[in-house]
Amino acid sequence: MEPFGARLARAMDERGPLCVGVDPHSSLLKAWGLPDDADGVASFCQTVVDALADRVAVFKPQSAFFERFGARGAQILESTIRQLREAGALVLLDAKRGDIGSTVAAYADAYLNPSRPMYVDAITASPFLGLGSLAPMFDMAAEHGGGVFVLALTSNPEGPAVQHARGIDGRTVAQTIIDEISQLNKGVEPIGSLGLVVGATIGEAGHDLSQVNGPFLVPGLGAQGGTADDLRRIFAGNLGAVLPSSSREVLGAGPDVQSLRDAASRTLDACRDALGRPGRS
């Protein structure tokens, strides 16, 4: 399959730089007038698919909101992934998996092997057992044209205690991750398939992102406080590789289908403006 980086670049050119989170948490289900059970999640996801699957470049289901309903939740997630991909969207599963040896190899097989029922285009991963521990994911992604987004600079208040800690070479943990992903993506065109998760609200983190040559998944724009100026400051010189992620700005408009479409369009326009990416004529 064509590498994920190339597929992502084309999807953002064609549909725009926006990733919509599919997060059926209990308060959102309640706001939509749905029960907090598997039936509610199924109805929620079908509405998202019907409203947005053929309009948005990337969808990011959060695995935890499906896992809480056991086998039925997994079936709903599988169906949602399949329908989104059949509509031409890319699916990035937000699972933040990270382990060692045969276990991380099994995660890679579960999500990045096209023969598996939970196959997606890309996954999120945690590197804090050492980036080398994720090698089976990187290898599986390379074999099947998949992507991996590695946590680097998250915007949660607990993150800096680990991510800003310095090693014996003076680099922060985050910078070490950034540099290693940069090496793995080196020379790939149009961009590499290994990305980084970098929050729009990280402030003046002082990290060098200039050589990554891969996509950035960027939560935090809008309701969480991230601004267009933040994006331009943090990702100067890399704005074309930035994929803003939004959930509440879009999903909060549901369950009316047209309202969801209007919200996605407004959010996409804001992302285009922030990144200096005009819409297609």
Rg (CA), the chain: 18
Task: Identify the DSSP state of 195.
Answer: E
Q: How far apart are CA 35 and CA 43, in angstroms?
A: 10
CA atoms within 13 A on the CB side of 172: 17
Q: 191: which 2 tokens? A: 């961009």
Q: How far apart are CA 103 and CA 87, in angstroms?
A: 32
Task: Identify the DSSP state of 62.
Answer: B
Catalytic residue among 30, 60, 96, 186: 96
CB 78 within 8 A of CB 67: no
Q: How far apart are CA 137 and CA 106, in angstroms?
A: 9
Q: Is 30 a catalytic residue?
A: no
Q: How far apart are CA 247 and CA 261, in angstroms?
A: 13
- Would you please indicate which residues are annotated as catalytic (active-site) residues? 96
